[in-house]
Amino acid sequence: KAGVTQTPRYLIKTRGQQVTLSCSPISGHRSVSWYQQTPGQGLQFLFEYFSETQRNKGNFPGRFSGRQFSNSRSEMNVSTLELGDSALYLCASSTGLAGEQYFGPGTRLTVT
Amino acid sequence: AQKITQTQPGMFVQEKEAVTLDCTYDTSDPSYGLFWYKQPSSGEMIFLIYQGSYDQQNATEGRYSLNFQKARKSANLVISASQLGDSAMYFCAMREERSGGSNYKLTFGKGTLLTVNP
């Protein structure tokens, strides 16, 4: 069974631009969660989608948004990029119920 | 609110020896899951082991076992027979597991950097 895939793996953007990251979960998984990892703040929850509905959202500004498609693939968008948005963005895939949760390789975003 | 505490910023172990990484948690939810992940320098978060709060037996996955002590709110990871490739950051995490998954998010500890010496 294929694992969680994320594209692109690396991205360099300038302040003020916007970016879209993509995540394809494990086949059969209906839940996709997004996390931001920085050296200062550690791993922080952004949001979680289950069957195309956002079930939960973390404490991030409205510049961070996401969506999920009918095939469970998810995208995350960050508008008006700031230097502080430089981070590793990880998505996680699961059934959406109890049990294991698997991460993708991450997208490393650098904002200059 | 949920909280995960990993008190060991760094740990050293000799190759082939066992090591225990500590994790304590705090939650008021009766149903939750506990996770351990390994993150090598490449950045990928690798799932190691999962324990449900109602599971009677401690979870094991190959060389990894989770020492779950519910009354003490502790979920320590034991790695047996350490290998050089085990050198990485290790994160403990927890998640509510209510019916319907209404608060489905992982709360992470700050991590423990494990170094395996030859």
Give pLDDT tens digits for B6-23: 999 999 999 999 999 999
The Cα–Cα gap between A63 and A52 comes to 20
pLDDT of residue A5: 97
Nearest CA in chain B to A106: B44
SS (H, E, C) B49-89: EEEECCCCCCCEECCEEEEEECCCCEEEEEECCCCHHHCEE
* DSSP for residue B6: -
Q: Is A85 helix (H, G, I), strand (E, B) or coil?
A: helix
A94 pLDDT higher than 70: yes
Nearest CA in chain A to B89: A42
A100, A3 contact by CB (below 8 A): no
Mark yes or no for CB contact A45/B105 under 8 Å: yes
Taking one residue from A and the other from B, the number of pairs with CB-CB distance under 8 angstroms is: 65
Query: If contacts are CB pairs under 8 Å, which of residues 33-92 in chain B contact chain A?
Result: 33, 35, 37, 42-47, 50, 52, 91
For A15-73, the pLDDT digits (tens) are 999 999 999 999 999 999 999 999 999 999 999 999 999 998 999 999 999 999 999 99
Quick one: pLDDT band at residue B105, thresholds 50, 70, 90? Answer: confident
**First and final CA of chain B: distance in angstroms?**
41
**First and final CA of chain A: distance in angstroms?**
37
